[in-house]
Structure 1
């Protein structure tokens, strides 16, 4: 089993570098040429059609994702289907997308949307069955200054006063926080220009959909308070 997992990991690393399909990358590593289609053999099953409600599942318009990444949701779905992404873990899909999107926030966003479109998980649900809440705001302040508002304890206390344990701090991009109930929050900063930046709050480890919905409201309120402070 370990050898199989190691080989699959090597295949996916090659896919990420070359853009090859899973079959072509596997054949290369095995020292084989990709087999030509055999008219006598049945074709592999085609991926299921993209559902009509894919925009609701993705949670973002085609225009928005295409403007940021160069592909709309149907194109991303087919691109990932060709790479057998439905068989990968969330982390493996995000790693596959890392070199094809403008940042890890977009890699994570496309990964989550693909998993929902392909019914691998529910809205706000992780592959392990737990839920997460994601909220973001674009604020009229540069990324460096906005990072101060999430990393400086005194500034952060002005908009986020709940008790928590501070975890990893990665200037100038993110801060990790541990909540008293055992859940985790990751605050991300992404520059949108010299005087504009986006903050995203990802709250993970939530027990169910109700917990997710409560935290979505909570983070919407907290980020609105932050926006009022920096505006």
Structure 2
């Protein structure tokens, strides 16, 4: 008997999966095995599921579950084998102020000292992407929440392993707290 993917099962139980897609975990794993999914890439598996009538988010969920169960893909691991760490925080400051704290090197040093970032792309006032010396990448998304609040979401991509992912996740939680303090300190000036 096939066991269900532990991580995906924690997110989506058999009854929910069956109601949304017409089959439970064992059903999808068996069908994908019969189709030959073990020898196919992530995109090809997801595309096949869509071809079979599974909607996009569900196709991704089933694909990741299959990869976790059959290929040993770890929670947080991307299809290319790397890991992503993410963190977010709502900051009591206007979007433009927070964006400047993220993109301006001198301002960034107040909340993110000793981290060398090379800018890749910037789209005011919402996205900033950077390269780090180790080859990993950092993406920041800033979403206004009214005129005086900003949601900042960080994704640190292309990390080598789950341990590094965990360490980076904690690091970014702390750094976003520091960003919040820096943005709110400017408010009082």
CA distance in 1, matches of 2:17, 2:145: 26
| Superimposed CA distance per residue, residues 150-200 of structure 1 (whole angstroms, 9 cap, x where no aligned partner) | 112221111112122222111111111111111111111112222111111
Unaligned 5+ segments in structure 1 are 1-47, 59-72, 97-106
Give the TM-score taking structure 1 as reference length. Answer: 0.53
| Superimposed CA distance per residue, residues 92-132 of structure 1 (whole angstroms, 9 cap, x where no aligned partner) | 88xx9xxxxxxxxxx9xx68x83545555532211111111
| Superimposed CA distance per residue, residues 61-106 of structure 1 (whole angstroms, 9 cap, x where no aligned partner) | xxxxxxxxxxxx8699649x9xxxx98639x88xx9xxxxxxxxxx
Q: Give 1:183's aligned residue.
A: 136
Q: Give 2:117's aligned residue.
A: 164
Q: CA RMSD in A?
A: 3.7
Q: Give 2:173's aligned residue.
A: 220
Give the TM-score taking structure 2 as reference length. Answer: 0.63
Q: Give 1:143's aligned residue.
A: 95
Indicate yes or no: 2:134 matched with 1:174: no
Indicate yes or no: 2:75 matched with 1:126: no
CA distance in 1, matches of 2:150, 2:18: 28
CA distance in 2, matches of 1:118, 1:138: 34
CA distance in 2, matches of 1:146, 1:75: 43
In structure 2, the residue corresponding to 1:214 is in which secondary structure? Answer: helix
CA distance in 1, matches of 2:76, 2:160: 11
Unaligned 5+ segments in structure 2 are 23-27, 29-36, 51-55, 185-189
CA distance in 2, matches of 1:173, 1:76: 37
CA distance in 2, matches of 1:163, 1:170: 20
Shift in Å at residue 213 of structure 1? 0.8
Indicate yes or no: 2:35 matched with 1:89: no
CA distance in 1, matches of 2:110, 2:19: 40
Please list, as runs of the form range in 1=range in 2, the aligned pairs for 1:1-231 lying within 5 A after superposition.
Answer: 54=8, 56-57=10-11, 78=21, 89=43, 114=61, 116=64, 119=67, 121-161=73-113, 162-231=115-184
Aligned residues: 151
CA distance in 2, matches of 1:148, 1:208: 31
